[in-house]
């Protein structure tokens, strides 16, 4: 940044172009996951005066880094240290416990900020579209992951783990996380930040066999080699692959031979290794990887009792092969099913939405209407922009691209005049009687969670209910609502 942004700009004063000392570019970023923080970072690094206010529907930040990364993968959460440094900027504010579209409208935010950047991710799962999908015992991976990570929206979910067989539909890293948590000894989870209610339930689990099912073949599985390799390192658990399931058609062989497809080749080699593992004493659980099988029905009268799968074949050229049913079927008896077949965004009141792709329609991050015309001052970043692709780091370049569009649009944004930013927004929320949470409040929650975890030998014990978090912040001596632009130390 060129210098400290002024906080006293008001309508009718100073230059017209946002980004000057007397007219800072004021931006609202909606969403506090990786794309939200990387977007904020790019804005705050721009060579102009900028103020960023971030909005999050939960009282706590970090999105899927907090509630989506598996508890036994703590290194992936180290990126939080980067986000905390971004939040320490004197020109950054955090508004937690505020849902845009409910607690504050898009129109109200437009009155307060020059630009709005939606970085709210893909919050729901794609559907299978098959009979029995809504039976008790059928769950999305999002529900299970949120539950064991202590996400407040999934805190009161319950999962019947009494049947010995579970089926996970999908072969990406989220499916791997779900399967690994089901298979891992609880003793190996006790020193992680897994939610205590989930650990208690997993201790009582009767699951011994987990089937991880994919519509296409082993060459098209979307695991990373690092995630898949962990199954060979689990105590008392054995990954299982039938050798005949590893036979490849000519097109799949071409895919694996391609120099740009090294990741898939490593994954296939791991499957080969799994298929040759000898019998082993002491195995209590097995994770079965099954390919070329597509779910056509979840069976059961009143709850899931099994999964009907159609045996598939592949058709099409390399890298564009699709699964086609053969008319032959098998059934796996199971007591619980987890659906992990991708994510999609959800509509936000006041914005267009592409229901087919599950994203907010945009061009280069600029939100467009149904006729393809850009909507001034409205932008997107991350999964709600491009769909659920890439890893945490992918969001950095994507966010920079969106911020580049914002900066390119500065002449047009100047027609929006001066915007009051934080001061006007806090007045609006105060009138609504909303208990919003700032980053200092988050540090209070963070400290308390770490203390709770230390007492039981864990890195943290999360608060899993919003009212618990707010009670902590509202106790005597904690004033809350401290919205002044001072650096968080």
Residue 151 has pLDDT above 70, yes or no: yes
CB atoms near residue 225 (< 10 Å):
15
Residue 195 has pLDDT above 50, yes or no: yes
| 25-123+344-473 carries CATH number 3.60.10.10 | no
Lookup: tokens for 199: 């650990």
Which CATH fold topology does 127-341 show?
FAD/NAD(P)-binding domain (3.50.50)
Cα of first residue to Cα of last residue in the chain, in angstroms, is 19
Beta bridge partners of 366: 363, 379
pLDDT band at 1 (very low <50, low <70, confident <90, very high): very low
Interval 467-480: pLDDT, tens: 999 999 987 655 54
Across 194-203, 302-311, 378-387, least confident range: 378-387
pLDDT (0 to 100) of residue 8: 35
Averaged pLDDT, 264-279: 94
CB atoms near residue 440 (< 10 Å):
18
* Domain segments of the chain as ranges: 25-123+344-473, 127-341
Cβ(39)–Cβ(63) below 8 Å: no
pLDDT (0 to 100) of residue 486: 33
Residue 91 has pLDDT above 70, yes or no: yes
Using CA atoms, how far apart are residues 306 and 11, in angstroms rounded to an integer? 64
pLDDT (0 to 100) of residue 483: 45
Residue 414 has pLDDT above 90, yes or no: no
Cβ(192)–Cβ(148) below 8 Å: no
More confident residue, 412 or 59: 59
CB atoms near residue 134 (< 10 Å):
8
The pTM for the full model equals: 0.89
25-123+344-473 and 127-341 agree in CATH topology: no
Beta bridge partners of 30: 55, 118
Coil, strand, or helix at residue 51? strand
Interval 431-470: pLDDT, tens: 989 999 999 999 999 999 999 999 999 999 999 999 999 9
Interval 341-376: pLDDT, tens: 876 667 777 788 888 777 788 888 888 888 889 888
Averaged pLDDT, 77-96: 94
């Amino acid at each position: 940044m060129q210098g400290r942004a002024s906080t006293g700009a008001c309508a009718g004063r100073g230059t017209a172009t946002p980004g000057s000392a007397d007219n800072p570019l004021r931006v609202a970023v909606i969403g506090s996951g990786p794309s939200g923080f990387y977007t904020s970072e790019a804005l705050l690094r721009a060579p102009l005066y900028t103020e960023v206010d971030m909005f999050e529907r939960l009282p706590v930040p970090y999105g899927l880094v907090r509630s989506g990364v598996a508890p036994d993968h703590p290194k992936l959460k180290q990126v939080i240290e980067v986000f905390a440094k971004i939040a320490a900027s004197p020109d950054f504010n955090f508004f937690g416990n505020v849902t845009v579209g409910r607690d504050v409208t898009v129109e109200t935010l437009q009155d307060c900020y020059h630009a709005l950047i939606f970085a709210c991710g893909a919050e729901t799962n794609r559907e299978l579209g098959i009979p029995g999908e809504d039976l008790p015992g059928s769950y999305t991976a999002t529900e299970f992951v949120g539950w064991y990570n202590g996400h407040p929206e999934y805190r009161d979910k319950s999962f019947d783990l009494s049947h010995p067989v579970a089926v996970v539909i999908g072969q990406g890293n989220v499916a791997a996380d779900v399967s690994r948590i089901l298979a891992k000894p609880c003793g190996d989870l006790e020193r992680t930040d897994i939610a205590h209610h989930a650990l208690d339930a997993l201790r009582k689990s009767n699951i011994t066999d987990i089937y991880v099912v994919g519509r296409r073949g082993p060459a098209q599985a979307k695991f990373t080699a690092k995630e898949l390799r962990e199954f060979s390192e689990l105590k008392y658990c054995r990954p299982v692959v039938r050798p005949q399931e590893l036979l490849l058609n000519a097109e799949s062989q071409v895919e694996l031979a391609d120099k740009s497809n090294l990741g898939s080749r490593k994954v296939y080699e791991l499957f080969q290794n799994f298929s040759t593992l000898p019998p082993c004493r002491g195995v209590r659980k097995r994770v079965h990887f099954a390919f070329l099988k597509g779910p056509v029905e979840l069976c059961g009268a009143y709850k899931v009792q099994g999964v009907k799968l159609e045996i598939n074949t592949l058709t099409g050229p390399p890298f564009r092969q699709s699964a086609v049913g053969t008319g032959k079927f098998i059934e796996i008896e199971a007591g619980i099913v987890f659906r992990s077949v991708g994510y999609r965004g959800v509509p936000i009141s006041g914005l267009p939405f592409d229901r087919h792709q599950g994203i907010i329609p945009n061009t280069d991050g600029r939100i467009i209407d149904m006729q393809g015309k850009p909507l001034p001052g409205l932008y997107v970043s991350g999964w709600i922009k491009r769909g659920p692709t890439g890893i945490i780091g992918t969001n950095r370049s994507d966010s920079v691209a969106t911020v580049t569009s914002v900066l390119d649009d500065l002449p047009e944004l100047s027609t929006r005049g001066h915007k009051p930013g934080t001061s006007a927004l806090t007045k609006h929320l105060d009138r609504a009687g909303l208990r919003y949470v700032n980053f200092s409040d988050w540090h209070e929650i963070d400290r308390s969670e770490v203390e709770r975890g230390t007492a039981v030998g864990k890195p943290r014990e999360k608060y899993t209910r919003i009212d618990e978090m707010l009670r902590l912040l509202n106790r005597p001596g904690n004033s809350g609502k401290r919205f002044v632009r001072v650096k968080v130390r």
